[in-house]
A and B are shown apart, each in its own frame.
Chain A
Amino acid sequence: MTATTDVSANQPVLIDVSALALLFETLREQGYTVVGPTVRDGAVVTAVLDSADQLPYGVGVETEAGRYRLRDRADRAAFAHSAGPQSWKNVLLPARTRRWSADRSPDGTMVVSGPDEPRRYALLGVRACDLAAIGVLDRVLAGGRHTDPVYAGRRDGNLIIAVECTEPGATCFCASMGTGPQCGAGFDLAMTELVDDDGHRFLVRAGTPAGAGILAALPGRPAGPASVGQARDAVAAAAARMGRTMPAVNLPGLLAANRQSPHWDDVASRCLTCGNCTMVCPTCFCTSTEDVTDLTGDHAERWQRWASCFDLDFSYLHGGSVRTSGQARYRQWISHKLGTWHDQFGMSGCVGCGRCIAWCPAGIDLTQEVDALAAAAAVTS
C-alpha cells in the first residue's frame, strides 16, 4: 500500500481518482453497502454499486423543463452530472417496503414482527441539495413526536460521502434556496472533483471521525492552498451558473394569500396530474399502506408504498375525495413544498434540486409558477 495520510481534523486531503477503488474496498470492509450514481436506461440513477468502475465517468447531463438527456463530456469526471430521476429517498424511503408481518397463534392472538434489519448504507455522491433533502426527511420522519422506525433503521449508521456540485444543470436553483452548491454540514466526507491538466483528483475533507477514519485509509497528500482555492472557485462558479432562481419573496405568505387565485386554473390547464413531480422529489415523503393476507388468513402483512397528492384517492374520505380538481391538487403540492412545510416542520420542503422541472412531462416549472403568482399579487396590491 502507498503511504497513507495522517489526517488531522479538517485538514483537506487530495486523493487521486484511482483511490476511489480503494474507497469502495474500505467501505465494503467496514460493512457498508455502497449506493452511488451509475448510468442505467439513459439516465444517471442511484443504485447499489460493487465497484468504482460503475461510476458515470465522462457522463454529463442536459436538463430543461420536461427534458433530461445524457451527453458525453470531454473529460472523465465521475460526478459532473446534475440531479437524475432518483434521489436518496429511493434508498432511505423505498417505493415499497414491508412495515411488518403478523401470524395468528393458536389462541387467536397475532404475533407481530417488525421490518427486516436494513443494511448499513454508504451514500456516495450526495449533492448539497440532496444533503439538505435528507435533512428534511430526517425532520419529517424522525424529528417529530413519533419516529418512523423503518426510516430510522435505514438511515441509522449511514456514511455520507458528499460531492460538491461543480456542474449545475439548467433546472437547478439550490443557490437561491440556500441549500448549495457547497456542503455545509451533515456529511462524513465531502469531496470536490478537480479535473484539469494536473490530473483527475478529489479534494476531500472529513466532517466526522467516521469519515476521517475512512480518509486515513486512502492514499492521499495534504492539499495545498492552490488546490483548496481551486475547489472553492469551482463551487463558487457553480453557484453563479444555476439555470434557475426561486424568486426572493416570502413564499409561505405568497402561497397562503393565493389559495383562491385564478392562477390555479391556468396551471391546471397544463398539469396532467401524473404525479411525476412527487415521485422524483427528494423530499416528497407521502405514503399509503396496503394490508395483505395469505389464503388461510393466518398471515398478514402491511406494505407501505409511495403515494402522491396528485392521486385522486389521496384525499379520499367516505363519500368522496377532498381534492378532486387539478387546481386543488397542484395548489396542494406547491403550497406544501414552499409554504405549509414551514408551518408543519419549520423548514422549506423544496431544496432546489430541479428534478420536478426536468421530469414534468408538461414542463411545469415551480419557479415560474411562483413568479406568476408574485407578479399577479404585485399588480393587484
Chain B
Amino acid sequence: MSTSLASRVTGAELPLPYRVIARHADTDDTVTLELAYETAPLPAFAPGQFAMLTAYGIGEVPISLSGLPAPHETARRLTHTLRAVGAVTRALHAAGPGTVIGVRGPFGTTWDVPSAAGHDVVVVAGGIGLAPVRPIVQAVLAERDRYGEVVLLVGARTPADLLYRDDLDRWAAAGVQVGVTVDRPAEGWNGHVGVVPALVASARFRPGRSVGFVCGPEVMMRFTARALTDRGVPASRVRVSLERNMRCGAGWCGHCQLGPLLLCRDGPVVDYARAEPLLDVREL
C-alpha cells in the first residue's frame, strides 16, 4: 500500500488487530470478550456506540460496547458481549483467550449519559439488549450523586438466559432499583414472570424528570417506550437503540436505512420522538 492511500486509511476502514484477553461465558450462547489492542488503539468508545468485529475469513458484525474500562485501566480495553446466532457471531463466540480478531470503530451515536445528570435514570433491557445498556449503569454509578433515582428493568426468556447476574446483585446492593422478569420461569424462580414493559408501571421514578434508555427487540422497545410515555416521560427523553443490517458502520454501505436515518451514523441510539413514526410504518 502506498503512503498516499495509507494516510487515508483509518480505524474506520481497516480492522485493527485486538487480542481476546478474557472470555466470560454469560449464558449457553452468550459471551463477554475483553479485548486489548495489538498495534494501536482505536479512539475511545462511548456507551451506545458500536464496533464492527471481524472474525478473519468469516465476516464482520456490528456489536455494541458492553462495558466501560475500570477507572484504573489506562490502556484502552474494549468489552463486548455477543450472542451466537449465526456464522460470524458463532466464530466470535468461540474465540478463546489469545485469539486475534479485527475491530473497527467507534461508530454511531451515544446514549449521551451525561445529559441525564439531574434526572432519574430509567434503563429497560430485553435479552441481549442488556449488553448495550450496561455501560450506562456503570457510568451513572461512577458518578452516582449527579443522578436521581436509578431504575434498571431487565427481561429474559428464562432465568438461565439472564446476563450479568453478579452485576445485577452488585447494582441492587448499591441502591439501583433492579427489576427482573422472565418469559418462562424455571424451578426455584420466585421473581416476576411476564414481559418487561409491564414492570415500568410500578417502578419508582419522577416521569417529568426522567430519561429512559431502552434496548431490546423492536416490539419490546415500542411497548416499553409507550409504557414510559404513558407515565409521562416525554418521548424526546426516551432513547432507544435500533438495529438494522449494517455492513460497514461508516455510512458507506446503505444497508442500515430507516427512512431518513442512516442508523450507523444517525443511530443506533435515537430518541423515541424521532423513532416512533418510523417504526410505525411496516417494512420501512
CB distance from B248 to the nearest CB of A (A): 7
Contacts of B283 on A, CB cut-off 8 Å?
322-325, 327-328
Interface residues in B188-228 by Cβ distance below 8 A to A read: none
- Is A292 located at the chain interface by the 8 A CB criterion? yes
Contacts of A223 on B, CB cut-off 8 Å?
none
Contacts of B55 on A, CB cut-off 8 Å?
291
A317 touches B244 (CB 8 A): yes
Closest A residue by C-beta to B282: A328
Interface residues in B83-100 by Cβ distance below 8 A to A read: 85-86, 98-100
CB distance from A82 to the nearest CB of B (A): 27
CB distance from B283 to the nearest CB of A (A): 4
CB distance from B107 to the nearest CB of A (A): 8
A148 touches B250 (CB 8 A): yes
A291 touches B54 (CB 8 A): yes
B245 touches A315 (CB 8 A): yes
CB distance from B264 to the nearest CB of A (A): 10
- Is B142 located at the chain interface by the 8 A CB criterion? no
The stretch of A36-44, A111-119, A235-243, A355-363 that contacts the partner chain: A111-119
A309 touches B60 (CB 8 A): no
Contacts of B99 on A, CB cut-off 8 Å?
108
What's the Cα separation between A109 and B40 when bound, in Å?
13
A259 touches B5 (CB 8 A): no
- Is B38 located at the chain interface by the 8 A CB criterion? yes
What's the Cα separation between A145 and B60 when bound, in Å?
21
B56 touches A300 (CB 8 A): yes
The stretch of B66-74, B115-123, B131-139, B255-263 that contacts the partner chain: B255-263
What's the Cα separation between A68 and B80 when bound, in Å?
52
A307 touches B60 (CB 8 A): no
B102 touches A288 (CB 8 A): no
CB distance from A271 to the nearest CB of B (A): 15
B1 touches A317 (CB 8 A): no
B60 touches A260 (CB 8 A): no
A148 touches B13 (CB 8 A): yes
What's the Cα separation between A113 and B2 when bound, in Å?
10
Contacts of A309 on B, CB cut-off 8 Å?
254
A289 touches B250 (CB 8 A): no
Contacts of B5 on A, CB cut-off 8 Å?
114-115, 117, 149, 153
Contacts of A108 on B, CB cut-off 8 Å?
19, 98-100
What's the Cα separation between A168 and B10 when bound, in Å?
42
A144 touches B247 (CB 8 A): no
Once A149-B13, A259-B284, A343-B260 are accepted as A-B contacts, the answer to whether A286 and B38 lie under 8 Å apart by CB is: no
B252 touches A287 (CB 8 A): yes
A285 touches B100 (CB 8 A): no
Contacts of B254 on A, CB cut-off 8 Å?
285-287, 307, 309
Taken residue by residue from 161 to 197, chain B's Cβ proximity to chain A (1 for < 8 Å, 0 otherwise) reads as 0000000000000000000000000000000000000
Q: Which of A112, A113, A292, A339 contacts B57 (CB 8 A)?
A: A292
- Is A171 located at the chain interface by the 8 A CB criterion? no
Q: Which of B38, B57, B284 contacts A297 (CB 8 A)?
A: B57
Closest A residue by C-beta to B39: A109
A344 touches B260 (CB 8 A): yes
Q: Which of B8, B56, B260 contacts A147 (CB 8 A)?
A: B8
Q: Which of A114, A116, A140, A148 contacts B14 (CB 8 A)?
A: A114
What's the Cα separation between A232 and B72 when bound, in Å?
70
Contacts of A285 on B, CB cut-off 8 Å?
252, 254
Q: Which of B2, B85, B252 contacts A117 (CB 8 A)?
A: B2
Main secondary structure on A side of the interface with B: mixed
Report, as a range, how many residues of chain B touch the other chain: 35 or more
Contacts of A102 on B, CB cut-off 8 Å?
15, 56, 102
Once A148-B252, A286-B254, A291-B57 are accepted as A-B contacts, the answer to whether A344 and B245 lie under 8 Å apart by CB is: no
**CB < 8 Å A-B pair total:** 157
A149 touches B60 (CB 8 A): no
What's the Cα separation between A100 and B16 when bound, in Å?
12
Once A145-B265, A315-B244 are accepted as A-B contacts, the answer to whether A291 and B100 lie under 8 Å apart by CB is: no
Once A115-B5, A285-B252, A317-B243 are accepted as A-B contacts, the answer to whether A291 and B260 lie under 8 Å apart by CB is: no
B60 touches A141 (CB 8 A): no
Contacts of A297 on B, CB cut-off 8 Å?
56-57
Taken residue by residue from 1 to 35, chain B's Cβ proximity to chain A (1 for < 8 Å, 0 otherwise) reads as 11011101110111111010000000000000000
Contacts of B247 on A, CB cut-off 8 Å?
287-289, 307
A332 touches B14 (CB 8 A): no
A286 touches B255 (CB 8 A): yes
Contacts of B265 on A, CB cut-off 8 Å?
144-145
Closest A residue by C-beta to B55: A291
- Is A221 located at the chain interface by the 8 A CB criterion? no
CB distance from B46 to the nearest CB of A (A): 14
What's the Cα separation between A316 and B247 when bound, in Å?
11
What's the Cα separation between A102 and B248 when bound, in Å?
18
Contacts of A322 on B, CB cut-off 8 Å?
244-245, 283-284
Contacts of B261 on A, CB cut-off 8 Å?
343-344
What's the Cα separation between A140 and B4 when bound, in Å?
21
Contacts of A147 on B, CB cut-off 8 Å?
8
- Is B281 located at the chain interface by the 8 A CB criterion? yes
CB distance from B261 to the nearest CB of A (A): 8
- Is B253 located at the chain interface by the 8 A CB criterion? yes
A109 touches B252 (CB 8 A): no
What's the Cα separation between A153 and B13 when bound, in Å?
13
Taking beta carbons and an 8 Å cutoff, which residues of B are in contact with A? Answer: 1-2, 4-6, 8-10, 12-17, 19, 38-39, 54-60, 85-86, 98-100, 102, 243-245, 247-248, 250-255, 257, 259-262, 265-266, 281-284
Could you list 12 further interchain pairs (A-B, Cβ under 8 angstroms) beyond the known A288-B255, A307-B254, A343-B259?
A100-B14, A100-B15, A109-B38, A110-B17, A113-B1, A256-B259, A259-B281, A291-B56, A291-B59, A300-B56, A315-B255, A322-B245
Q: 10 A–B contact pairs at CB < 8 A?
A: A108-B100, A115-B5, A145-B250, A148-B250, A148-B252, A288-B247, A289-B253, A302-B60, A315-B255, A340-B260
